[in-house]
Amino acid sequence: MSRWNVNTLVAWVDSHIIDYPTAMNLNYNWSYGSAAGFCLAIQILSGAFLAMHYVSETHYAFASIEHIMRDVDNGWLLRYMHANGASFFFIVVYAHLFRGLYYGSFMEPRQPLWWSGAIIYVLMMATAFIGYVLPWGQMSFWGVTVITNLFTVIPVIGKDIVMWIWGGYTVGNPTLNRFFSLHYVLPFLITGMVFVHLGLLHKDGSNNPLGIRTRLANVNFYPYFYVKDLVGFFVLLSVMSVFIFYYPNMLGHPDNYIEADPYGTPAHIVPEWYFLPFYAILRIIPNKVGGILAMGGAILALFIYPLLNTSLIRSGNFRPIYAVAFWIFAGNFVLLAWSGTTPVDDYYLPFGIFASLYYFFFFIAGGVLIGWAENYLSSYKIS
């Protein structure tokens, strides 16, 4: 490597990592981003080692997972690390997303930064869904059967798309092969988007709890703020270790330890917990097309929200009406996830309907109505 390249690399590391200006009032909520990057690294490394022993063939996929668990040295550790790591990846990303919603990280000039994060989230959902199919258990098989059938709502070409995804007339070996290939490739696409996300972050700078721009109250990232990230890493590792070593199957579904049976449908087909809020929105509408549009709209709302914002105040600390709506939304998100686990009957249906309506209400009211009201109140106080 030439001297110029070394000096350029050193200068880049110095400006973007060591001497990167960071607001001195950042709290531990700003550690979720680096924790998410740590989770991504765990997933890629553990997934690469698992792929060395996995067989993407319907007759052997389930047995290869059991082989990894029982015969491969520390294979159980790799498998539990990967499976629970996916859940913790989503936990950290949800915390990162909710922090951005509360502190106004979606507002100008950070709209492209928010959109790049939303794209990463969608890629994560796709990768996690595809990965859930690979163990070829009961929930894996029926989950992919139900979800891929949703594409049939597309006029004219919907059925052809489903057959193209399946590689035949039903979910089978070509489906598993394609999903395995995609599951291996998509994490690298996520990594690329992470670098785009970081580039946009360093272009506009980090937000802060006060929601103000400041150049006078900044400190270097190293050694001041990296210590908070380090604490976040240790906390994440500690909690994840408890789940891996003591409760490895708590976040999964027991039916996935039963080999896929095309002739035996599980009593309740449910996705992994991190998809439950959107699954609940899908279920509340009896019409198939309407349910899919509602679920898609729930994800699309993340992209549209920055365009709906009318508030001139950034941080939720200074937006009392928005703060109340936000915390209700956070609780409502949990309620929505819970409703996704319940049977579809008249007793539980009202909970899902209410939670789904408030989900969309928050993005509309939080962006437009509450922003107008708070702008009016703040101008009234000033005058």
> Where in the sequence numbering do the catalytic residues fall?
202, 206, 228-229, 272
Q: Which domains does the chain carry? A: 15-269 (1.20.810.10), 270-382 (1.10.287.980)
Sort strands 218-220 and 21-23 into parallel, antiparallel or unpaired. Answer: antiparallel
Q: What is the pTM (predicted TM-score) of this model?
A: 0.92
Q: How far apart are CA 135 and CA 23, in angstroms?
A: 45
Residue 208 confidence (pLDDT):
86
80-134 confidence digits (pLDDT tens): 999 999 999 999 999 999 999 999 999 988 999 999 999 999 999 999 999 999 9
Judge whether 183 is annotated as a binding position.
yes
Give the contacts of 363 (CB within 8 A, at least 6 positions apart).
301, 304, 305, 308
Task: List per-residue pLDDT tens for the chain, 383 residues long.
Answer: 455 566 666 665 656 667 677 888 888 899 999 999 999 999 999 999 999 999 999 999 999 999 999 999 999 999 999 999 999 999 999 999 999 999 999 998 899 999 999 999 999 999 999 999 999 999 999 999 989 998 998 988 989 999 999 998 989 999 999 999 999 999 999 999 999 999 899 888 888 888 877 666 777 777 778 888 889 899 999 999 999 999 999 998 888 899 998 888 887 788 899 999 999 999 898 888 999 999 999 999 999 999 998 888 888 888 999 999 999 999 999 999 999 988 878 788 889 999 999 999 999 888 888 888 887 777 665 54
298-308 confidence digits (pLDDT tens): 999 999 999 99
Q: How far apart are CA 58 and CA 173, in angstroms?
A: 5
Which of these, 140, 134, 128, lies nearest to 260 by C-alpha position? 140
Q: How far apart are CA 310 and CA 307, in angstroms?
A: 8
Q: Which residues pair with 259 in a beta bridge?
A: 137
Judge whether 67 is annotated as a binding position.
no
Judge whether 96 is annotated as a binding position.
yes
For residue 170, CA distances in Å to 164, 288, 316 come to 10, 20, 49
Q: How far apart are CA 187 and CA 200, in angstroms?
A: 20
Q: How far apart are CA 91 and CA 97, in angstroms?
A: 10
